[in-house]
Amino acid sequence: MTKNREISRDPERAEAVKTKHFAALQPFLLHALLLATLLGLFGNFLLDYGFLRPTDTTQVIDTIRVEATGDKSMRSKGSEVWFYGAFSVSDGRRIPWDQVELDASWLQRGDAYVAPGDKPSTATLTYRGATRLEFGSHPYSGVVLVKWGENQKKINLYSSATTTKPLTIDGRSSYTNSSLYPLILGCFVLIGIGLAAGIVHLGWKYTYHCIFFLSLVFSLYLTIAAFFPGVYTNDSADQLKQALTGTYHDWHPPIMSWLWSLLIATTSRIESLFFLHLLLLLAGALVWARVFQRLNIGYLAFAIPIFVAGPTVMNFSGVVWKDVGFAFALLLACGVISLAWIRNSLSWIDSILASMLLVYAFGVRPNGIFSIMPIVGLLAWLAVRQCKPLLPKIGKLTASAFASIVIILAMVGGMHAFTYTYLDAQKRYPIQYLELYDIAGISSISGQDYFPDFIKNVPQHDLPLIAAGYSQSISVFGNANNLVFSGPEGSQPLVPLNTDPDQQALLRKAWLSAIFDEPFAYLQHRMAVMKSMFLVGAYPTERPQNATDRTAVLEANGVRPEQVELPDYQLPGAQSAQEFVADSTVWATQSDLYTGWIWVVLLTLELMAGLIMAVKSIRSGVLIIMASGSGLLYALPYLIIAPASDFRYLYWSTLAAGICTILMAGQLSARMLGKIRRRYQTQPLVHPAH
């Protein structure tokens, strides 16, 4: 009591005590503000997407009203509304059109209906459960208004590329419009404040580590729940057939089918490769988080779960594709080598793990050999520096370059021997797809038939038909499947594939002759493919797959139902996760995130920034050079060798650019924080006069 009176009589001492108390309180306030915000946003996400719902989830029977308003966005060239139908979310089955009431203004186009947009059009249907509406999205799309119960949603269907936009309508009750919403949200905020108190007063120093790990696991679970047990396209089904039969061919990478066969033999589960790819993604994310921590920018590790759940990762992360395995393997390999670079030590485990990942990546994507070179180069430099520390710098560079060449040659030779000797894979010459597409383009543009005689002699060969099919391949399909796999209306392909070595030699000769004879036509064709791939952003996403569609794809590729046992159930939160995937990918489609040249430009700028940082001896500069260089060297060859305009060919490039962006943001923020600290540390202390 006496001490308090003495303090109150001494203003300077009282002010010092207040300052001390505030300084002690300041860390708690900062942690509380940060964690309350993070937990509040997370709670809002769970409530908004229905991960948290009342226990009474009785489906409400209601009417859905689809209104083609006739409006359009400023960028759209029209106001059409293509309605592809309504589907049950539980089993993926289409609701028959005779259960949908369409007014007379809708026009039937195949299995879809179109509202021309010159006047409002309406369609109504009754739903008894979660229902997914699908609309076409293209440059001529307008605005559609969907109403159900007391809810409504207006959707701008415009997209620079031709794609689909889904809308999931869930009749179950939720907390979003409930009086309990602010109470539940407040509980998440209070949890954040409680964690802040534990950090400051109880020394919970691993709280942020746990939050990061849980958020990363949740981000990954979104992919698992939305796509389980994986999305299987024709490519996936063909590789699954190879894995089940043990008979391999090189149209798709045999090493992936072989690995899949081992996983099936070990786990007896078809979806094992789906989980292995996601395990690579999880491991890569954890290793990169450790890299950020060692660079003293660990706070930016929280950007990784957001990145993993973002539309440039989740658009394909649930698809069982070689492109996905390639990207996730390189993500982890880059992380392992980056961590070794930072700690100035390359262990045998690092070397073996990175080498295995690089071999797998090359095996599934041989055309990605150039993107592997920067990673191999840094791996070789680390090995040489550790084994020969006394070598001068020029000697280390020379030895590293030589070691890189040896590693690359060993990788190429070893994979060739593994594929054609150990696995005895049949040669199907996948390069012929590119050659046939190029010849079709050159012939269509120039009007001169450059196909070899053995193709000209097939009964269905007709240059005008090929030219018409080529035009569709560029403007509609984004690939040459309508030329090489089937002809018009399911007829024989106009430019058939073959596996005859002699005919392949003739085809190669005709291809080169066409390029040299018609260089301008070749450039025009390549520019058209490049425009479709790098400017329009074709085929940017793959949506979750229901059991009916999955079975149909597998059966169409010769995988019988009795050969596979895929789960026909949904994981908890699957419907909410699928809605989130749909919303995020639709948003990205409306933006420029799925436009290829954006990523090429970003990677180029990041490579230049990495070079500048490396010159200034900033350690992360080398890592940015490695990752951005790899992503750039993966994208650029597609200017010449792209067989189609699928955005999945740029999947690794988008991942590499994303990691480099986080790295650069971390270095920039660290530099700014350092300046602020130095500024306050150099300010003279003002002492009160006595």
Kindly report, residue by residue over 403-425, the tens digit of the pLDDT. 999 999 999 999 999 999 999 99
682-688: which pairs have CB atoms within 8 A and are 24 or more residues apart?
688/12
Across the range 456-477, mean pLDDT stands at: 89
CB 137 within 8 A of CB 568: no
The string of pLDDT tens digits covering residues 638-662 is 888 888 778 899 999 999 999 999 9
Considering only 174-178, 253-257, 271-275, 624-628, which range has the smallest mean pLDDT?
174-178
Best CA proximity match to 576, nearest among 222, 334, 333, 136: 222
Q: Is the pLDDT of residue 690 over 50?
A: no
- Residues sharing a CB contact under 8 Å with residue 596, sequence separation 6 or more, in sequence order: 533, 534, 535, 537, 635, 647, 650
Best CA proximity match to 158, nearest among 590, 666, 672, 682: 590
Q: Quote the pLDDT of residue 348.
A: 93
Count the Cβ atoms, other than its own, within 10 Å of residue 556.
10
* Range of 160-174, 426-440, 536-550 with top mean pLDDT: 426-440
- If you average pLDDT over every residue of the chain, what do you get? 87
Q: Is the pLDDT of residue 689 over 50?
A: no
Q: Is the pLDDT of residue 203 over 90?
A: no
Q: Quote the pLDDT of residue 15.
A: 58
The string of pLDDT tens digits covering residues 329-367 is 999 999 999 999 999 999 999 999 999 999 999 999 999
Across the range 421-442, mean pLDDT stands at: 94
Lookup result for tokens 């950007």:
303
DSSP string, 347-380: -HHHHHHHHHHHHHHHHH-GGGHHHHHHHHHHHH
Q: Is the pLDDT of residue 165 over 90?
A: no
Q: Quote the pLDDT of residue 18.
A: 55
Confidence of residue 316 (pLDDT cuts 50, 70, 90): very high
Considering only 10-24, 33-47, 204-218, 439-453, which range has the smallest mean pLDDT?
10-24
> To which H or E segment does residue 163 belong?
strand 163-169
Count the Cβ atoms, other than its own, within 10 Å of residue 345.
11
Give the neighbor-by-neighbor strand order of the sheet with 112-115.
107-109, 112-115, 81-88, 131-137, 163-169
The string of pLDDT tens digits covering residues 574-628 is 888 988 998 898 888 878 888 889 999 999 999 999 999 999 888 899 999 999 9
The burial class, CB within 10 Å (0-12 / 13-18 / 19+), for 658 is buried
Confidence of residue 562 (pLDDT cuts 50, 70, 90): confident
DSSP string, 421-447: IIS-PBP--THHHHHHHHHHHHHHHHS
The string of pLDDT tens digits covering residues 55-110 is 765 555 578 899 988 888 888 888 899 999 888 876 667 888 888 898 888 988 88
* Range of 149-158, 164-173, 370-379 with top mean pLDDT: 370-379
Across the range 289-294, mean pLDDT stands at: 94
Comparison of pLDDT for 645 and 125, the residue scoring more: 125
Q: Which tokens hold the place of 216?
A: 């990363």
Give the integer Cα–Cα distance in Å for 294 and 283. Answer: 17
Give the integer Cα–Cα distance in Å for 32 and 27. Answer: 8
**Among residues of the chain, what percentage have pLDDT more than 90?**
50
Comparison of pLDDT for 282 and 53, the residue scoring more: 282
| Phi-psi group of 647: left, alpha or beta (phi > 0 → left; psi -120 to 50 → alpha; rest → beta) | alpha
Q: Is the pLDDT of residue 16 over 90?
A: no
Confidence of residue 686 (pLDDT cuts 50, 70, 90): very low
Q: Classify residue 166 by its DSSP letter.
A: E
Considering only 246-260, 311-325, 510-524, 533-547, which range has the smallest mean pLDDT?
533-547
Q: Quote the pLDDT of residue 240.
A: 95
Confidence of residue 630 (pLDDT cuts 50, 70, 90): very high
Q: Is the pLDDT of residue 182 over 50?
A: yes
Q: Quote the pLDDT of residue 364.
A: 96
Across the range 107-117, mean pLDDT stands at: 87
Q: Which tokens hold the place of 428?
A: 């199907």
